[in-house]
C-alpha cells in the first residue's frame, strides 16, 4: 500500500495510548524526567535489549549520577562500567558528549533537536527519544521496533532501510502532539512486546484492525529483510605473555575503531598458510617489538560481532628479549592476574581472563 493518507490517525493514537495505559512496561528510566538519565538509557538501548540494559543502567547511574560526574570521570573508568555491553563507541561518545554539555550548556541537556543531534553519538531517533521523554516535546522516533510496527501497519513492500523517508513521515504524522512522551514510549513497547520480529501477538494488538499486514495475513513475512552476505570470519593468534615475575603484558587499543580505548591481550590476524605460533611471534614483534617463545594453548574462543566473527587462538608465551614498545597501541602494561580485573576488556577477552584464573588455580 505504502500510502499514509488512508490511515485513521486519530483512532490509532487513541487506541495505542489506551493500550499503553494498561500494558506499558515499568522501566527504571520511565520513573524520571531527568534528561541525563533518559539520555543514558536511550544510548544503552541502541542495538541492545531492555533486559540486558537494566542492570547496566542502574550501575551506571550509581557510578555517574549526574552529567557532571560523567564529564569528570576518566575514560578508563567509563569503559570499565560499560564493559560487556558492547558497541563501545556509545560509551566513548556519551562521555565526550557529557563534557560538551557541561562546557557548552552548563550541564543542561539542550532541549533543541538541532543542538541535541550535534552532540557525539546522538542521532535523530535518540534525540527524539530524549526530547519526548524528558521534555514531552513532539519529536518523532524511528528505532528498530518502530520500523517493524510501521512496516506492518502499511504492509510495506520494501525493506525498511529502503523506505526510511516514508517511515519517518509516518512516525511524524502518527505522533500524538498532546502526549508525545507516552505515544513514543507506547510505540516502542508495542514493537518490543506485541509486534515482535517472530510470531507477533496480533490478537493482543490495539492496531490489529487497521493493520494491513494482519489483514493480509502477512505479519510473519513483513517487514521484508535484505539478503545478507555471510559474515566474514577472522582467525586471530593471541598471546598471554608472561615475564619472570609472573606478570602478564596487556595493551590498550587506539581510540578509533570498534573496541577503541579497551585493553586486550596482544595478537593479530593469522595469514593464509601461517601457523598460530608463527602468527603470534610475528604479531608480537610487529606490535610490541619483542621476542617471545610461544607455549601451550590456553583457550580457543569463537565470538560474533555485528559484521564479522572471530576465532581467538590463545597461547601462553614467555618474554625472551626486548623492551615492549606501544608501536600499534596507545599504552602497554605489565600486570598481575589480580590487577587485571581493574581494566576494561572486550567481552571475548573476559573469557581469556577466566581461563587464566582457572589455569592459576590448577598450577
Where in the sequence numbering do the catalytic residues fall?
42
Q: Copy the grid coordinates of residue 106.
A: 552548563
Q: Copy the grid coordinates of residue 196.
A: 515482535
Q: Count the helix, strand and coil residues of the chain and give each as a percent rounded to the nearest 5.
A: 45, 15, 40
- Residues near 283 by beta carbon (within 8 Å), at least 6 away in sequence: 237, 239, 266, 267, 268
Q: Copy the grid coordinates of residue 345.
A: 576488556
Beta-carbon neighbour count of residue 179 at 10 Å? 17
Q: What are the counts of helices (DSSP H) followed by strands (DSSP E) for the chain?
A: 14, 7
- Judged by phi (left if over 0) then psi (alpha if -120 to 50, else beta), residue 246 lies in left
According to DSSP, residue 84 is labeled T
Of 331, 181, 171, nearest in space to 249 by CA? 331
The Cα–Cα gap between 354 and 341 comes to 10
Amino acid at each position: 500500500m505504502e500510502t499514509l493518507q488512508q490511515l485513521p490517525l486519530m483512532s490509532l493514537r487513541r487506541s495505542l495510548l489506551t493500550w499503553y495505559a494498561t500494558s506499558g512496561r515499568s522501566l527504571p528510566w520511565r520513573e524520571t524526567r531527568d534528561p541525563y538519565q533518559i539520555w543514558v538509557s536511550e544510548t544503552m538501548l541502541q542495538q541492545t535489549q531492555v533486559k540486558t540494559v537494566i542492570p547496566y543502567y542502574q550501575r551506571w547511574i550509581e557510578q555517574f549520577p549526574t552529567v557532571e560526574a560523567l564529564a569528570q570521570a576518566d575514560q578508563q573508568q567509563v569503559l570499565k562500567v560499560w564493559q560487556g555491553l558492547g558497541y563501545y563507541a556509545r560509551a566513548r561518545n556519551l562521555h565526550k558528549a557529557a563534557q560538551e554539555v557541561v562546557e557548552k550548556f552548563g550541564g543542561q541537556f539542550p532541549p533543541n533537536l538541532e543542538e541535541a543531534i550535534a552532540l557525539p553519538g546522538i542521532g535523530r531517533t535518540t534525540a527524539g527519544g530524549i526530547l519526548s521523554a524528558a521534555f514531552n516535546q513532539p519529536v518523532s522516533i524511528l528505532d528498530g521496533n518502530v520500523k517493524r510496527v510501521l512496516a506492518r501497519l502499511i504492509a510495506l513492500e520494501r525493506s525498511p532501510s529502503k523506505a526510511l523517508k516514508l517511515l519517518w513521515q509516518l512516525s511524524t504524522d502518527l505522533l500524538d502532539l498532546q502526549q508525545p512522551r507516552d505515544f513514543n514510549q507506547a510505540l516502542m513497547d508495542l514493537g518490543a512486546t506485541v509486534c515482535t520480529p517472530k510470531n507477533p501477538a496480533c490478537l493482543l494488538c490495539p492496531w490489529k484492525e487497521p493493520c494491513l499486514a494482519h489483514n493480509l495475513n502477512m505479519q510473519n513475512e513483513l517487514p521484508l529483510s535484505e539478503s545478507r552476505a555471510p559474515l566474514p570470519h577472522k582467525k586471530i593468534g593471541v598471546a598471554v605473555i608472561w615475564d619472570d615475575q609472573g606478570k602478564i603484558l596487556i595493551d590498550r587499543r587506539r581510540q578509533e575503531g570498534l573496541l577503541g580505548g579497551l585493553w586486550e591481550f596482544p595478537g593479530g590476524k593469522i595469514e593464509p598458510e601461517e601457523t598460530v605460533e608463527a602468527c603470534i611471534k610475528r604479531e608480537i614483534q610487529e606490535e610490541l617489538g619483542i621476542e617471545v617463545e610461544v607455549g601451550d594453548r590456553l583457550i580457543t574462543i569463537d565470538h560474533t560481532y555485528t559484521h564479522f566473527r572471530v576465532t581467538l587462538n590463545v597461547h601462553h608465551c614467555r618474554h625472551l628479549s626486548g623492551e615492549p614498545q606501544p608501536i600499534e597501541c596507545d599504552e602497554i602494561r605489565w600486570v598481575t592476574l589480580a590487577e587485571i580485573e581493574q581494566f576494561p576488556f572486550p567481552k571475548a577477552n573476559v573469557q581469556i581472563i577466566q581461563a587464566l584464573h582457572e589455569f592459576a588455580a590448577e598450577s
